[in-house]
Amino acid sequence: MLVTGFPAGMFQTNCYILAQDDASECVIVDPGQDAADPLIDFLTRSALTPTAVLLTHGHLDHTWSVEPICEKYGIAAYIAPEDRYMLSDPVKGTGPALAAVLGDTEFREPAEVIELTDNQQLELAGIEFTVVYTPGHTQGSVVFLTRADGPDRAVPLALTGDTLFAGSIGRSDLPGGDHDQLLRSIASRLLPLGDDTVVLPGHGGQSSIGQERGSNPFLVGLTAPEQGKL
């Protein structure tokens, strides 16, 4: 499987592209600010056609380019219903500080928006995804779980958005954020994953569940449910 990505815009948000080997279709995850042009260029050069855009949450730095990308390719955007309002009114999700950055820029939903549900199974571009609700950074934050076939075995992947980073966790001081809820989400939904699960976060470099369990300072004392409670 092809799994690639690039940081885009002033927020350096990771936009990911996933496709099966030798396939002509792909899935896009979190096309942020200034992601459209390099994304379209990559898809054209790679002869890939996207079938869907998956959104880990509704913050503008992850959704800025979703409407033009969906319009260009005639595809749907998938987002949790709790964060859907931010597609057309991003300031509500980030507070007034963002208004100065946006200026007169207007945003609207893509023509087709599909609302996600917890534990939902998706098959898009021949790739199977599991939707895992992880509220705390926002109330509609989700993680997408999938597997990439390697030469020796399938490698589990977790596209964690702004729930979990390499060495850090998402902020919880924006509207809809809840620090304790975020820690509970990580403890109950992410720490039970295998140590070899590759973490592909919304910002920064990749990591693994095992590495974060052992070295992430925000997770000290945080355990999976079967090991006890925070």
pLDDT one-digit tens code per residue, 145-155: 999 987 788 89
pLDDT score for 95? 78
78 class by beta-carbon count within 10 Å (0-12 exposed, 13-18 middle, 19+ buried)? buried
- Could you tell me if 9 and 64 are in contact, meaning their C-beta atoms sit under 8 angstroms apart? yes
Predicted local distance difference test score (pLDDT) of residue 152 = 81
**Predicted local confidence at residue 94, as pLDDT:** 84
The answer to whether 212 and 198 have CB atoms below 8 angstroms apart is no
| Structure-token pair, residue 153 | 């075995």
- Find the length of the chain: 230
Q: Let me know: does 170 contact 136? Beta carbons within 8 Å.
A: yes
Token pair 């992410």: residue: 190
Q: Which residues pair with 14 in a beta bridge?
A: 7
Q: Going residue by residue through the chain (230 aa), what tens digit of pLDDT does each one get?
A: 999 999 999 999 999 999 999 899 999 999 999 999 999 999 999 999 999 999 999 999 999 999 999 999 999 999 999 999 999 999 888 877 777 777 778 899 999 999 999 999 999 999 999 999 999 999 999 999 999 987 788 899 999 999 999 999 999 999 999 999 999 999 999 999 999 999 999 999 999 999 999 999 999 888 655 443 44
Residue 225's pLDDT is 53
